[in-house]
Amino acid sequence: MTLDVETLNQGLLAGCGVLLLAILAVRASVRVGMPSLLLYLLIGVALGEAGIGIDFSDAEVANALGFAALVIILAEGGLTTHWSEMRPVLPMGLSLATIGVAVSVGIVAVAAHTLFGMSWQLSVLLGALTSPTDAAAVFSVLRRVPLPRRLSSVLEAESGLNDAPTVVLVTVVSMGGHHSFAGFVGEVLLELVVGAVIGLAIGFGGAWLMRRAALPSSGLYPLAVLSMSVLAYALAATIHGSGFAAVYVAALVLGNSDLPHRAATRSFSEGMAWLAQIGLFVMLGLLASPSRITWGHVGLAIAAGLVLTFVARPVSVLVSSLVQPMPLRELAFVSWAGLRGAVPIVLATIPLAEGVTDANDLFDVVFVMVVLYTLITAPTLPRVARMLKVARRSEPRELDVEAAPLERIAADLLIVTISPKSRMHGVEVGELRLPRGSSVSLVVRDGATLVPQDRTVLRRGDELLVVTTRRSRERTEARLRAVSLSGRLAQWLTDPGG
C-alpha cells in the first residue's frame, strides 16, 4: 500500500477515532475496577479479523512496535517514581523481580511439562511469559486501593524492574542453542549489569547536561529528558546489554534529579505512556485471532493460571521475602496483586518472531490467560485488601498538589487544594509549620484572593499558593499532607525546619 495524502487522511481519521474511544474507555474501566488494557484489547479484537476485518498478523512488526511501546512505558515509570519512596523497599522489589521470577518460572515450567505434556522449551517460555507483573496494569488498579505507601511501592518496584530479566530470559530460550545453567545465568546477569551501568551513566550525565543547558523553550526539556531515556535503551541494546534495565534506571535517575521543568516533564511522559499503552494494547488485540482460539487453549490457560496464581506466585513471594521480611498478610496481598497485562502478550511475540514450534498456540494461551485472570483478580483487590487488613482506614484524601517551576530563583510554586475531607480545615497558616524557605503566599477562596497572615484560618475548598525552595519541596509536601491527614497535631514534636 502506497502512502499518499488520501491514505494519510483516512489513517488520521481512524486513528484519532480509536484514540478518543480508548481515552473515554479509561473512565469506564475505573468505574468497574478493571485495568483499561482489557478494553483496549477488546477494541483491537473488534477492529481485527473477527470484527471490521483489518488484517494484521506480522509477528516481527508486532514485536518491534511492542518493544518500542514498552520503552516509553518504562521510561514514564522511572520518571514518575519517587526514589525516596522506592529506596526502603528496593531489596524486596529486586528480589521479586529476580529471585521471585526465577522461582515462578521454574514451578510453572515443571507443571507445564509434567502435567500438560509440553516440551521443555515451551514450558520454560510459558513460565517466563506469565511470571512478570505488568506496570501499566498494577499502577492503574492500585490507584483505587488505599494501601500503605510501603506496600504499593513494593508492587510498583517489582513491576518496573522485572521486565528486564524476563526479556533476556524469553529471548535466550526462544533463540534456542545450548547453554549450561551457569552460562545462562551469567549471560542474564551480564546483560542486566551492562544495562544498569549504561542507564546510570546516561542518567547522571543527562542530568548534569540538562542543569546547564539553556534551551529556548520550556517544551524542549520534556522532549530532551525522554530522548535521553530512550537513548539509554538504544545504546544498551546495541551492545547486547539489557535495554529495558537501561531505560528504567536512566529515567529513574533523571526523574529524581533537580532538573528544570520537572512537573512538565512528568506530565509529558505520562501522556506519552498513555499513548503507548493504547497503541500497544489495540495492536495486540489486532494480532489476536479469536477464530484460532480453541477450548483446548482455554482449558490450558485456566490450568496454567491456577498453578501460577495459587502455587508459583505465593511460593515466589515467600522466597523473595527472605531478603526483606514482611508481615504474612502483606505477603498474601502482594501474591494476589501480581497483575499481568501487556508484558506477557508482548513477550509472546518473541517466540512468534523467532519461529518457535507451536508459538501460535503459546501466544493464544497467554492471551486467554491474561484476559481471564485480570478479569478475576483486578476487581477483587479492594475486597482482598480489606479482608487481609492491609488497606488503610478511611481517612481524609491527600491534598491535590500541582507545581510550577520558578527557575530564576531555584524554587517551585505549589498549588494546593484543600479537599472536603481534609483535616487542614480550621488550621491556621502559622500552625502549618512549614520548613524554612517555604511559605503560603496567597489563598484563593470562593474566587477571591487574600494574602494570609499567621492567624488566617484555612477552609475546605481553599487553594493555597505555596512558594518553596527546591531543596525544601519534598519536606514541604510531606508536611502539608501530614497536616491534611492528622490536623494541627501532626508530628507536633518534629521541627520540619530542621
* pLDDT single digits (tens) 167-189: 888 888 888 765 666 777 777 78
d(C-alpha 41, C-alpha 212), whole Å:
43
Residue 439, C-alpha cell as written in the block: 511559605
Alpha-carbon distance of 111 to 369, in angstroms, equals 16
Which residue bears the cell 512528568? Answer: 266
Q: pLDDT: is 406 or 429 the higher one?
A: 429
pLDDT digits (tens, 9 = 90+) for 53-75: 777 777 788 888 888 988 998 89
pLDDT of 498 above 50: no
Cβ neighbourhood burial of 177 (10 Å; 0-12, 13-18, 19+): exposed
pLDDT above 70 for 342: yes
pLDDT reported for residue 229? 94
Question: Residue 113 above 90 pLDDT?
Answer: yes
Q: Residues, the chain, total?
A: 498
Distances from the Cα of 453 to the Cα of 354, 439, 443, angstroms:
68, 11, 10
Alpha helices in 213-261 (DSSP H): 220-238, 243-255
Pairing assessment for the beta strands 411-417 and 463-469 based on DSSP bridges: antiparallel
- Tens digit of each residue's pLDDT (9 = 90 or more) over 26-38: 666 655 555 667 7
Query: According to the per-residue pLDDT averaged within each range, which of 26-40, 129-143, 244-258 is highest?
Result: 244-258
Average pLDDT over residues 339-367: 85
pLDDT at 277: 83
Q: What is the pTM of this model?
A: 0.75
In contact, 281 and 344? CB cutoff 8 Å: no
pLDDT of residue 178: 59
Cβ-based burial of 217 (10 A; exposed 0-12, middle 13-18, buried ≥19): exposed
The pLDDT-based confidence of 86 (bands split at 50, 70, 90) is confident
Q: Which residues does 181 contact at the CB level (< 8 Å), separation at least 6? A: none
Partners of residue 485 on adjacent β-strands:
none
Q: Measured between alpha carbons, how far is 109 from 130 in angstroms, rounded to an integer? A: 11
Are 245 and 59 a contacting pair, CB within 8 Å?
no
pLDDT in tens, 422-452: 888 888 888 888 888 888 988 998 888 888 8
All three cell numbers of 368, joined, read 486467554
- Fold for 34-387, please state it: Na+/H+ antiporter like fold (1.20.1530)
Max mean pLDDT range (81-85, 103-107, 347-351, 473-477): 103-107
- From 3.40.50.970, 3.50.50.60, 3.30.1370.60, 3.30.70.1450, which CATH number describes the 400-489 domain? 3.30.70.1450
What mean pLDDT, rounded, does the chain reach?
A: 82
Tell me, what's the pLDDT at 92? 92
The pLDDT of 135-153, averaged and rounded, is 71
Q: 54: which 3 cell numbers?
A: 483489518
Domains of the chain, residue spans: 34-387, 400-489
Identify the pLDDT of residue 347: 86
Residues near 498 by beta carbon (within 8 Å), at least 6 away in sequence? 435, 436
- Does the structure show a pLDDT above 80 at 307? yes
| Predicted confidence (pLDDT) at residue 389 exceeds the cutoff of 60 | yes
pLDDT > 70 in the chain, percent: 88
What is the greatest pairwise CA distance in the chain? 75
pLDDT in tens, 314-337: 999 999 999 999 999 999 999 998
Q: For position 397, what pLDDT does the model report?
A: 44
How wide is the angle at C-alpha 434 spanned by C-alphas 433 and 440, nearest 5°? 105
% of the chain beyond a pLDDT of 90: 19
pLDDT at 65: 87
Q: Between residues 1 and 83, which one has the greater pLDDT? A: 83
